A and B are shown apart, each in its own frame.
Chain A
Amino acid sequence: MSHGTKSYIKGVKVSERHGAGEWMQERLSSLILIPLTLWGLWSGWVLSGAGYDGALDWFRSPVNAIVLTATLLVSLWHMNMGLKVIVDDYIHRPASRNALLGLIGLLCMLLAAAGVFFIVRLALGSAPLPAGFGA
């Protein structure tokens, strides 16, 4: 990407900023989420009323743990972009907008880190928290 200087490909100006990158990412994440959402709805059905032991059993399947991790991460990626579009539309002061976008990004990363941490523990059959953390 060029910075400051305008560049052209076949007479068409190349974007100096993000171009269509975010648009492509939104569509790509949507496409990936189509099967994952259907799987998530099915999983919600299976886990409803399954209780603590039923949920632990569900996590013993590596397929469930892996697909759930993928669903969580792609959803948070998609959610971060979606919330960014909403903030871009309604918050016009650059300082407020950037602060809010930063907070949303942090929230998404926190949810991703915490979610993966919990899923890994559940998949490995670790003892209930806070085991291993001073208790």
Chain B
Amino acid sequence: MSTSPLPGDASNDPTDDQSGRFVRQPNGRVRPLSPHLQVWRWHVTMLASILVRVSGGALAVGALLVALWLMALAFGPDAYATFTAWMGSPLGLLVWIGLTAALAYHFAGGVRHLIWDAGEGLTPKSANLLSTVSIAFAVVVTVAFWAGLFMTGRVSL
């Protein structure tokens, strides 16, 4: 097996590396590890991209809760009262506010990606703007939705 020395100083010698900056590939070759999250300066596009994945994961939990809602409703008034008592508690409301934010953001982020997939908005300036707009959209929708629910008395603590 040949491990060609990498350009640079001796500390980059991968054969006696102790820093964890190198990784042995499945084919046996030693290669430098690509920089991970903590190495990069944060960009709004990067944050926006990560948030799409995080909100998508949160929405998978949301799907479980929606299924639970359907189940409680199908099991009758007693089961439904138990369900709404849990979900209407401060902690439950916090979960649903979080899910609203996740849904609004995943929606905006998804539309942003569809715009990019169509080949539009790909200059750094446009990409930054679209990312900022999608985050702002989620914040505005979530605040408006829940402020509305509380002010119309549909939801109360």
A: residues with CB less than 8 A from B are 27, 30-31, 33-34, 37-38, 40-41, 44-45, 48-52, 55-56, 59, 72, 75-76, 79, 82-83, 86, 111, 114-115, 117-119, 121-122, 126, 128-130
Main secondary structure of the interface of A (DSSP, over half): helix
Q: How large is the interface on B (under 10, 10 to 19, 20 to 34, 35 or more residues)?
A: 35 or more
Contacts of A31 in B (CB 8 A): 114
Beyond contacts A83-B60, A86-B53: 18 other A-B pairs, Cβ-Cβ < 8 A, are A30-B114, A33-B110, A37-B103, A45-B145, A48-B149, A49-B156, A59-B73, A75-B63, A76-B63, A79-B60, A83-B57, A111-B67, A114-B70, A114-B71, A118-B71, A118-B74, A126-B74, A130-B75
Q: Is the CB of B73 within 8 A of A55?
A: yes
Q: How many A-B residue pairs have CB under 8 A?
A: 88
Q: Is the CB of A30 within 8 A of B149?
A: no
A49-B149, A52-B81, A114-B67 as given contacts; A34 in contact with B107, CB under 8 Å: yes
Q: Is B64 an interface residue (CB 8 A)?
A: yes
